[in-house]
Amino acid sequence: EDLEEAANKPRTVIASFGTTAGALAALISFLQSGELPLDTDTACEVLGLANRFSISSAIDRASRYMIDTLTPATAIERLTWVSQQLQSPKPRSRKPAYMFPNLRKTCLDFVAKNFTEISVKYFAQVQEFVQGHASLMVEVLDRQRKSATPVKSKSKSSKSNA
C-alpha cells in the first residue's frame, strides 16, 4: 500500500524526507552507482540528507564538493546553512555543537577573507545576511580582526635576552 502511494504521489514521499527531489535523486544515484551528482543548487540538501541517513562516504564527498566549489557567489549561503546545522549540545556546554565543524570553519574563513569582494558583488545577499544573522556577522568580523592582527614573534624577545 505504501509503495503504491509512493508511486502515485512522489511529492508526498519527497516531502516526508524533508528535502528536494534533486537531493533525493542524487543520494539514490549515489547508493546505486557510487557516483554523487552534485551542483550548487543541491549540495547543501544532499549533505543534510546524507547526514540524516549516516552515509559517511556521501557526507565526505558532499563536504569536499562544498569546499572545492566555494566562491564569493556561494559563500554566504553555505556559511548560513552550515551554521544552522546543529547537534545536541554536550552537557554543560554553552557553545553550539555544529554537525560539520570543518566545513563551517572553511566557509567562515572564506567569507572573512573575501568579505569586501562579496559585499560589492552580492550586496543584497550580504544585506540580508547582516540583518538576519547578526551573531554570525560578528563572527565574520572577529575572524577578520584576528587575521589582520599581526602575530607577535617570540624570536626577537628571546634574542634580546640572550
State the 10-residue block means of pLDDT for the chain, 162 residues long.
48 65 88 93 92 94 96 95 85 80 96 94 92 92 84 55 50
Pairwise CA distance, residues 9 & 3, whole Å: 10
Please give the C-alpha separations between residue 34 and each of 30, 31, 55, 65, 90, in angstroms, as whole numbers: 5, 6, 12, 15, 34
Answering whether pTM is above 0.85, one says no
Scan for cell 550586496, then name that residue.
Answer: 123
State residue 3's pLDDT score. 43
Please give the C-alpha separations between residue 82 and each of 28, 140, 157, in angstroms, as whole numbers: 22, 14, 42
